[in-house]
Amino acid sequence: MQIIKQKSLKQKENKNAYLKVVEKAYIFLIKFVKDNKENQNIVLEFIDLFLDDIELGVHALELITEVFRDSENLLTYPLVPLIKKIASDIDLLDIETTKKATLLSFVPVFMFYKDQCLKDNQYLILNEFTSVSRKNSNFLFVGPDGHDELRIYMAEMKQQYLEFMSDEKLMAEIDVPPEVSYTINYIQLISFAAKGKNASCETRA
């Protein structure tokens, strides 16, 4: 934890070395809290610290979601500031980066406690990620221009698949454009928010 607390190192010349070390620290903490209620509660008090590191990569948010995954903390922790911060940070990222889609894929964790849909959390997340004050929904392939752009992406992936089928490779190497990945994850997020006969979310979605 002390490694992550060394904020001053981020501005030094050895920033890349620091980032490699902090990445290892986050990977360790993710394994430390996974399926371990006691360890999740230990790490919970440092959530704000991890939130500050979302800009560094994907592991900070991955750790946060592992702390809350199927945890009773979902029922008691004040999630509003947390979700607002996550939505804002994702909103600021460029659509061309895979990080935007990856971070978004972690968010559904906050909507479910084991097999139970958390309606308040579903509505909170839906409200934040569809807010007109954010740009999260601006990247969907809507309208004639959006449809044309999506067709171009699909044609590129189809060409990659055809090249794979005519080659002797054992595994297909098809690159899904970040824009498409983000759109898929965004639609999944909306569908998760409406899961469980949540009338308020269904109406907003």
Q: Report pLDDT digits (tens) over 172-204.
A: 555 677 777 888 888 889 889 988 876 666 665
Query: Rounded to two decimals, what is the model's pTM?
Result: 0.76
Q: Report pLDDT digits (tens) over 114-138.
A: 989 999 999 999 999 887 666 555 5
Cα–Cα nearest to 86, from 124, 34, 118: 124
Q: Give 155-177 as a DSSP string.
A: HHHHHHHHHHHTS--SS---PPP
Cα–Cα nearest to 196, from 128, 116, 130: 116
